[in-house]
Amino acid sequence: MTTARPPALLGVDANPDAIKVSDVLDYSRVHGMVNQWDFLTGSAAQLKAVWQAYHIAVQIDSGQIDHTPALFVIDQQGREQKLYLTQMAYSSITQSAQVLATEISSLLPGHPKLSSLGSLAAVPGQTPSATVTLPAAAPAAGGSGPAPAGTVTLGPGKARLVVFFATWLSETSDLGTELTGLNAYAKDAASKHLPALTAVDEAVTEPSDASVNSYLHQLRPLSYPVALDETGRLADGYGVQDQPWLVLVNAAGKITWQHDGWVPLTTLEQAAAAHS
């Protein structure tokens, strides 16, 4: 008697600047995926051959990794059953997981039922025109910045610079330096009458809120608030399509500027002055 093997969850490295086994292991640790999947890597030539075979485009643009966001469902006979070109929709991550689990179940013997089912109805985003209160992340150890009252409020009434990020960006950039470097913007914002800065961690993509707080405690004190987007609705409402994602919002709650990736302080302040 044979026992059906559980589905295999495979990832293939699409970062040409990080192809060592230690690189993919670090990535798995940051995402809480150690022993949860097999993250495959190889030589540059081997990876390029796989990318070409699966029609995956990979490039590095201004230090940012960009690749085709493809997810393949392959049956036991090696036949491709479905191809999902996943879009950036943070609030529907659990819905996407349910769709994939349902698809995989249909390929397994006996078609096992999912342990739970949720609604697949569209989840509305929280736009800049709405007042939204989010939980605050813990401050960096010894922080001298604004003490968190437990929540951070965003919405119309004053111009804002909102920086969306996730701690796993430390795998592709010097996240700590970028976050602490924003202290200079927060300082200049007060003296130059620029939009106030709020950072938002995309907690829906993190292993846990505790992992975010642990990371922030390793940094020098941040002089601006950090909120946790635990549902992804804020990111969707602000049109976030990547990490990091910078958004300027005017006092009326309208997005006036957005940017994919980190920018120098001077560029950021010029954009803030021009679009606030």
Confidence band (pLDDT; 50, 70, 90) for 138? Answer: confident
Residue 166: how many CB atoms within 10 A of its CB?
A: 22
Average pLDDT of the segment spanning 81-96: 85
Q: What is the pLDDT of residues 206-264, one digit of tens each?
A: 988 888 999 999 998 999 999 999 999 999 999 998 889 999 999 999 999 999 999 99
Do the strands 58-61 and 64-67 form a parallel or antiparallel pair, or are they unpaired? antiparallel
Q: What is the pLDDT of residue 148?
A: 45
Percent pLDDT > 90 in the chain is 59
Provide the pLDDT confidence category of residue 63 given band limits of 50, 70 and 90.
Answer: low
Let me know whether 88 and 203 are in one domain.
no
Confidence of residue 4 (pLDDT cuts 50, 70, 90): low
Residue 146: band (very low, low, confident or very high) from pLDDT cuts 50, 70, 90: very low
Do 141 and 77 fall within a single domain?
Answer: no
Q: Give the domain extent around 86.
A: 10-107
How many residues are there in the chain? 276
**Mean pLDDT throughout 34-60?**
93
How many distinct structural domains can be found in the chain?
A: 2
Mean predicted confidence (pLDDT) in 115-139 = 90
The answer to whether residue 115 sits within a structural domain is no
Q: Verify that 136 and 94 share a domain, yes or no.
A: no
User: DSSP character for 136?
Assistant: B
Residue 70 shares a structural domain with residue 21: yes
Give the chain's radius of gyration (CA, Å).
Answer: 21
Write out the two tokens for 196: 């106030």
pTM: 0.78
How far apart (Å, rounded) are the C-alpha atoms in residues 208 and 50? Answer: 32
d(CA 167, CA 43): 27
Instruction: Report the pLDDT value the prediction gives residue 90, as an integer from 0 to 100.
Output: 86
For residue 86, pLDDT over 80 is answered with no
Task: Report pLDDT for 125.
Answer: 94
Tokens of 15: 């970062």
Query: Distances in Å between the alpha carbon of 47 and those of 51, 52, 210, 267?
Result: 6, 9, 34, 36
Domain final residue, candidates 107, 140, 167: 107
13-31: pLDDT as tens digits: 999 988 999 989 988 887 7
* pLDDT at residue 141 in the model: 44
* Statement to judge: residues 101 and 144 lie in one domain: no
Region 85-91: mean pLDDT is 81
Tell me, what CATH number does 74's domain have? Answer: 3.40.30.10
Final residue in a domain of this structure, among 73, 107, 141 = 107
Whether the predicted pLDDT of 123 surpasses 90 = no
